[in-house]
Every structure is written in structure tokens, then in C-alpha cells.
């Protein structure tokens, strides 16, 4: 897909009022120049979530969530980037720029979606005319409302029902084939992939049909479940069955329950558990884990209690562990032999199933229990083995309290890391000052000139346009200088850039946290005073640059002498210094 130009994103966000976007979803209260609310991304009792109309930026002092109107839509409405761009563009009467190649790709993709939608409607119509398929769903307690909600259908028996109904010309045949709805035998004969099966359409995050899962009516009629193959639209390791329905049923998703089958999801919905999703015949992948946590802070994995279920749970843990940022939780529920979520919820209802979830094993407990299964922790050798197994896995956990507590728990179990000499561990000297690091302000000392300029640019990026050239101070060896130059260049390249977009530019960088704090500081004065302060600071930096170069030339003169070019430069600099004074 062609990349959307930065200039368009900048203009889009410049036209967007972030207060309107956030305020339509979260009740905001005005406080001075900004707005506040309880954070929509974590539970809290007192407001720590701030929206700034001047900076077009939101920030939570509690959980650290921050960003632009675009990132808010992506995180709150759980939209993909392009979908969020299109939503804001629609609000502002703008058309997202598309190259010719991209338009052609979009038309082709749209035809594929249309073919899958037509197939879903075909299966739904056939469910209405099939007594045995309806009887099967009646026997499973799936009512008409749930059938409609999940677009459940039926693929007729026979080899060409779908092909005869929808493959009316060569172009349509090719589309249906690319959508994964046909199979081909050794002789090259094309026939319907799904036959005599209850059909479960799989939706993407925008509610469009991208694939199907088909379930047999009788146990002996081939594989229990048959899924669409991988296509241009469908990658089973990235999709979750039922997620679209969960998002439609819940304004705020507090948890997600991951089960293994389509009928498990449908039955849980039928009985009122409307947070269930299923992986599509594959183990939980890292993409699944990211998608789950993007939509809910708490994730419950529901598996059989046998050895296969334990292995599946461990694979899920391995995918989840690197994504366990603070505030996220994962649990594992193991069901009795012969039971699945479908049978449990029928026997015990939503309350009974929820009670089981409340007793689920936390990730931390499952982690250490599973690693220690064949280890004798009463011996030093056993403790050493557990520590050896755990350490590389714990290293994958993002920095934060959860990772610290997991390592602390390992120390409690094994004793590794605790000893008489631990208190005397030498503290490493701080690294040398970097031209890229954000300059810090110690105590009540006056902030550095570089920091002073950075703060003002963060509050009003367009001020950088007042600095026509950085040549006069670009070689200064000062903390934060490379960062300052990058900020100035970025604004000159993208004059409409807002504070929020500027911070997003550094989102994955080491400087991100410090820049966010600086952007949220109160800065006295107004835009005109900030511009004058910035220009004054730039003049002072040029003076420091002149002094730095003088000292370099004088040092060279003392050590090895100067050539004629150096002598000329030295005289010029001395005259310039006199002129400045």
C-alpha cells in the first residue's frame, strides 16, 4: 500500500480539533487552557488524563498514554492507522491522496471483499432452506439473533453449489478462487471448498468478511473444522474470530477470553459472555497477543486441562510475555477433561463460567509452576536450573514494575541475586554527555540554552521557522544539540507539524519520555515572547560556537602551529568577537 504523505497527515491534524475527537468519547472538563478527564486507557478515580487544544496532544500522567487525534482513534476506537486517517479525513471533508497504483490495488481488494460478502449471503440464504443445518444450530441452542449477529450460514452438499450460483463468468471464478472458496483436484477440476458445513464468516477489524470457517454436522464427515486458506486478505496468525462482534457488543472491553473453537465463541455470546474470541486453528502468535492487548487490558486464555492444553498455554505465554507492559494482565483457565467453554457455559451459565475465570491462574504463577515442573527446588542444583531457565524469558518482559516483580519472585524462589556482597555492588559512572540526549536541569539552576529552545519548539513547533539557518551553532559540542537540530529540520520540512505529531516522531526513541515531560510543562508567556526568547538563545549559541572554534584554533596553534587558512580564520574570529562585544 502506498504511503500517505507526511504533509497530508500534518494538514489533517492541523484541521482536526483533538478536543472534539476525544470529547465525543470521553467526558472532558476544562481546566485553564487544557481539558482533563479520568483516563480511558486505565482505571483511575482522580483525573490524570489531559488534552491540550493548543498542542493538539493528549497525555496521561498515570499510565503514560499519549499522542495525537490519530493515535487516540487507533487506541480508543481500536482502528488501524489507515482507517483512523480516513475517519479524520471524512470529518474534515478531505480526500486521502492515493497514487494510481494504490487506486488499482484498492479496486482489486474491493472486488475480493465483494466476492466474500456475496459468498456469506449465499451461505446465509442456504441456512434458511436447510432443515438439517437449522436443526443442528437449534440443538446447540443458537438462536436467530446470534445467527444474524455472526452471519452464520450453511454450505450445501455437492461440489458446485457456490460455483454455479456465483461463478457466472471467468472473472468471478477467479475472484472466488483467490478468496479461497474453491479447491482443485489432480486433474485440474475446480470444485467448492466448503460442502455440507455450518459456515462461520471471519470478519476483519472493520467488520468485512475476509474468510470462513466451516464445521461438519456429523462427526465422521471429515475434519471437524475447515478454514479458508491464507489469501491476500486473510492471515490466520493475525486474526481473531469474534473480535468484530466483541467490539460491537462492548463500548469498553475490560477483558478478552480466548477460546479454541467458533462454537465456543458463539455459545458464550448466546449465554451472555460477550468478550470471547478464538484463534483460527493455530497457536497464539505474537500478532495475536499484540491484537488482544490492543483491545483489552486483561486477557484470559481458556484451554483443555490435558497435556496438549498445557503446551498450547505455554505457547500463548511465550507470545504474551514480551508484551506484558505495566497495566496488562494475562490468566490461564484449564477446563476439566471432556469439557469445553461451550459445554461449561450450558451447564453453569454465564455466572458459573465467570466464577471459573475469577479462579484462573495468573501468568506469573503459571510461569514459575510450569518451569519448575521437573525440578527439585529443595536442592541448590534445582534452584540454579530454574534460574537458568527463567532468566532469558524474564529478559523479554518490557521495563516496568511487572518485570521487576517477576525477577524479584525468581530471587525469592531460588535465592539467586541475594547475598552478602549485593549491597556493596559498585554503581556505574554516568555516561558522558551526548549531543543527542535531552539536556537536563539540575536543582534550581538556569536551564541550558539548548533545553530552552527545545521546550519552546515543543510548545509551538512553528517557532523553528524563525531560525533561518543553524550553521552558526550546528557544530557546538553541547548536550541535546543533535536533537535540537533534528527538531528544527523537521519543522522546516513540515511547517504545519503540531506538538502531538512532533512527539509521535520520537515515540520509539530514547528521548521520547523526556520530550513528553517537557511538552507538558507550563511555559509562561505567549507566542511572541517565546519567539524572542528563542532568537536570543540562538544568538547566544552562535557566540558559544565562535568561542569554541577560537579555543580549538588556539589549542592547535600551541601544539602544532597553524597554516595560512587557519591563521586567516583565527583573525576573522577574533575580529568578530571584538565586534560582538
Would you place residue 79 in the very low, low, confident or very high pLDDT band (cuts 50, 70, 90)? Answer: confident
* 212 and 249 in a common domain: no
Residue 189 lies in a domain: yes
Question: How many CB atoms within 10 Å of residue 379?
Answer: 10
* 412 and 350 in a common domain: no
* 109 and 218 in a common domain: yes
* 466 and 519 in a common domain: yes
Residue 99 pLDDT greater than 70, yes or no = no
Whole-number Å distance between alpha carbons of 201 and 151: 7
Q: What is the pLDDT of residues 294-344, one digit of tens each?
A: 889 999 999 988 888 899 999 999 999 988 988 899 999 999 988 889 999
Whole-number Å distance between alpha carbons of 18 and 51: 8
Say which CATH number the domain at 259 has: 3.40.1360.10
0.75 surpassed by pTM: no
Q: Give the CA distances from residue 47 to residues 35, 51, 66, 170, 401, in Å, rounded to whole numbers and listed in that order.
A: 10, 11, 15, 60, 22
* 377 and 363 in a common domain: no
Q: What is the pLDDT of residue 366?
A: 95
Domain that residue 399 falls in:
372-416
Whole-number Å distance between alpha carbons of 95 and 97: 6
Q: What is the pLDDT of residue 441?
A: 63
* 287 and 203 in a common domain: no
Q: What is the pLDDT of residues 526-549, one digit of tens each?
A: 888 888 988 888 888 888 888 888
Average pLDDT, the chain: 86
If one counts the domains in the chain, the total is 5
Of 350, 368, 386, at which residue does a domain stop? 368
Q: Which of 63-67, 75-79, 134-138, 535-539 has the lowest mean pLDDT?
A: 75-79
Of 39, 63, 91, at which residue does a domain stop? 91
Question: How many CB atoms within 10 Å of residue 405?
Answer: 13
User: Is the dihedral angle over the CA atoms 430, 433, 435, 439 positive or is it negative?
Assistant: positive
Determine the Cα angle at 242 with ends 351 and 106, to 5°: 160
Q: What is the pLDDT of residue 232?
A: 86
Q: If you search the block for the grid coordinates 480508543, which residue do you land on?
A: 76
Q: If you search the block for the grid coordinates 525469592, which residue do you land on?
A: 412
Residue 118 lies in a domain: yes
Residue 65 lies in a domain: yes
Say which CATH number the domain at 521 has: 1.10.860.10
Residue 431 lies in a domain: no
CB 283 within 8 A of CB 314: no
Whole-number Å distance between alpha carbons of 344 and 268: 9
Q: If you search the block for the grid coordinates 487544557, which residue do you land on?
A: 34
Q: What is the pLDDT of residue 32?
A: 85
* 208 and 281 in a common domain: no
Q: Which of 56-65, 356-365, 462-471, 505-514 has the lowest mean pLDDT?
A: 505-514
Say which CATH number the domain at 386 has: 1.20.50
Say which CATH number the domain at 19 has: 3.90.580.10
Residue 96 lies in a domain: no
- Nearest CA to 312 out of 332, 342, 298 is that of 332
- Nearest CA to 268 out of 254, 284, 283, 256 is that of 256
Q: What is the pLDDT of residues 50-62, one digit of tens each?
A: 999 888 889 888 8
* 381 and 267 in a common domain: no
Would you place residue 103 in the very low, low, confident or very high pLDDT band (cuts 50, 70, 90)? Answer: low
Residue 403 lies in a domain: yes
391 Cβ neighbours under 8 A, 6+ residues apart: 410
* 498 and 468 in a common domain: yes
- The DSSP element (H or E) to which 513 belongs, if any, is helix 512-520
Residue 79 lies in a domain: yes
* 107 and 69 in a common domain: no
* 77 and 116 in a common domain: no
Q: Give the CA distances from residue 468 to residues 13, 75, 302, 458, 482, in Å, rounded to whole numbers and listed in that order.
A: 25, 38, 61, 18, 17
Of 213, 234, 255, at which residue does a domain stop? 234
Residue 430 lies in a domain: no
Whole-number Å distance between alpha carbons of 455 and 449: 10
Say which CATH number the domain at 159 has: 3.90.980.10
* 380 and 363 in a common domain: no
Q: What is the pLDDT of residues 375-427, one digit of tens each?
A: 898 899 999 999 999 999 999 898 888 999 999 999 999 988 633 333 333 33
Would you place residue 444 in the very low, low, confident or very high pLDDT band (cuts 50, 70, 90)? Answer: very low
Q: Which of 291-295, 332-336, 434-438 has the lowest mean pLDDT?
A: 434-438
Amino acid at each position: 500500500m502506498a504511503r500517505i504523505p507526511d504533509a497530508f497527515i500534518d494538514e489533517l491534524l492541523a484541521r482536526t480539533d483533538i478536543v472534539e475527537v476525544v470529547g465525543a468519547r470521553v467526558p472532558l472538563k476544562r481546566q485553564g487552557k487544557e481539558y482533563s478527564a479520568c483516563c480511558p486507557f486505565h482505571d483511575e478515580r482522580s483525573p490524570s488524563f489531559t488534552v491540550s487544544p493548543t498542542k493538539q496532544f493528549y497525555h496521561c500522567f498515570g499510565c503514560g498514554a499519549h499522542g495525537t487525534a490519530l493515535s487516540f482513534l487507533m487506541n480508543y476506537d481500536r482502528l488501524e492507522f489507515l482507517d483512523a486517517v480516513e475517519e479524520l479525513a471524512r470529518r474534515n471533508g478531505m480526500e486521502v491522496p492515493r497514487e494510481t497504483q494504490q487506486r488499482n490495488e484498492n479496486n482489486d481488494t474491493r472486488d475480493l471483499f465483494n466476492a466474500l460478502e456475496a459468498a456469506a449471503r449465499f451461505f446465509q440464504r442456504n441456512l434458511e432452506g436447510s432443515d438439517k443445518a437449522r436443526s443442528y444450530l437449534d440443538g446447540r441452542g443458537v438462536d436467530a439473533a446470534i445467527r444474524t449477529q455472526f452471519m452464520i450460514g450453511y454450505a450445501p452438499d455437492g461440489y458446485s453449489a457456490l460455483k454455479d450460483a456465483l461463478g457466472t463468468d471467468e472473472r468471478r471464478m477467479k475472484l472466488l478462487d483467490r478468496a479461497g472458496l474453491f479447491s482443485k483436484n489432480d486433474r485440474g477440476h475446480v470444485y467448492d471448498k466448503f460442502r455440507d458445513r455450518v459456515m462461520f464468516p471471519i470478519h476483519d477489524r472493520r467488520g468485512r468478511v475476509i474468510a470462513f470457517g466451516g464445521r461438519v454436522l456429523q462427526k465422521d464427515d471429515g475434519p471437524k473444522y475447515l478454514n479458508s486458506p491464507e489469501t491476500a486478505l486473510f492471515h490466520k496468525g493475525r486474526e481473531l474470530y469474534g473480535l468484530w462482534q466483541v467490539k460491537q457488543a462492548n463500548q469498553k472491553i475490560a477483558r478478552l477470553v480466548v477460546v479454541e473453537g467458533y462454537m465456543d465463541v458463539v455459545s458464550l455470546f448466546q449465554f451472555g459472555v460477550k468478550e470471547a474470541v478464538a484463534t483460527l486453528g493455530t497457536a497464539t502468535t505474537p500478532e495475536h497477543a499484540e491484537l488482544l492487548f490492543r483491545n483489552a487490558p486483561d486477557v484470559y486464555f481458556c484451554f483443555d486441562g490435558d497435556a496438549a492444553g498445557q503446551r498450547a498455554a505455554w505457547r500463548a505465554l511465550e507470545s504474551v510475555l514480551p508484551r506484558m507492559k505495566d497495566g496488562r494482565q494475562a490468566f490461564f483457565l484449564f477446563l476439566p477433561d471432556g469439557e469445553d467453554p461451550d459445554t461449561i457455559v450450558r451447564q453453569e451459565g454465564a455466572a458459573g463460567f465467570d466464577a471459573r475465570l475469577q479462579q484462573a491462574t495468573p501468568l506469573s504463577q503459571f510461569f514459575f509452576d510450569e518451569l519448575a515442573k521437573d525440578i527439585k527446588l529443595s536442592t541448590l542444583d534445582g534452584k540454579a536450573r530454574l534460574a537458568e531457565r527463567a532468566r532469558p524469558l524474564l529478559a523479554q518482559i518490557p521495563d516496568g514494575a511487572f518485570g521487576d516483580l517477576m525477577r524479584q519472585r525468581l530471587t525469592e524462589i531460588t535465592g539467586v541475586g541475594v547475598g552478602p556482597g549485593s549491597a556493596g555492588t559498585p554503581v556505574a559512572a554516568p555516561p558522558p554527555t551526548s549531543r543527542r540526549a535531552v539536556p537536563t536541569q539540575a536543582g534550581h539552576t538556569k536551564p541550558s540554552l539548548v533545553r530552552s529552545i527545545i521546550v519552546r519548539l515543543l510548545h509551538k513547533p512553528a517557532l523553528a521557522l524563525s531560525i533561518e539557518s543553524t550553521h552558526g551553532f550546528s557544530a557546538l559540542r553541547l548536550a541535546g544539540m543533535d536533537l535540537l537540530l533534528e527538531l528544527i529540520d523537521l519543522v522546516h520540512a513540515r511547517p504545519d507539524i503540531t506538538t502531538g505529531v512532533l512527539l509521535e516522531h520520537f515515540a520509539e526513541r530514547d528521548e521520547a519520555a523526556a520530550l513528553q515531560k517537557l511538552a507538558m510543562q507550563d511555559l509562561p508567556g505567549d507566542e511572541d515572547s517565546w519567539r524572542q526568547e528563542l532568537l536570543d538563545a540562538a544568538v547566544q549559541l552562535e557566540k558559544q560556537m565562535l568561542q569554541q572554534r577560537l579555543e580549538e584554533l588556539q589549542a592547535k596553534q600551541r601544539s602544532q602551529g597553524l597554516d595560512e587558512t587557519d591563521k586567516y580564520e583565527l583573525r576573522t574570529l577574533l575580529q568578530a568577537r571584538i565586534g560582538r562585544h
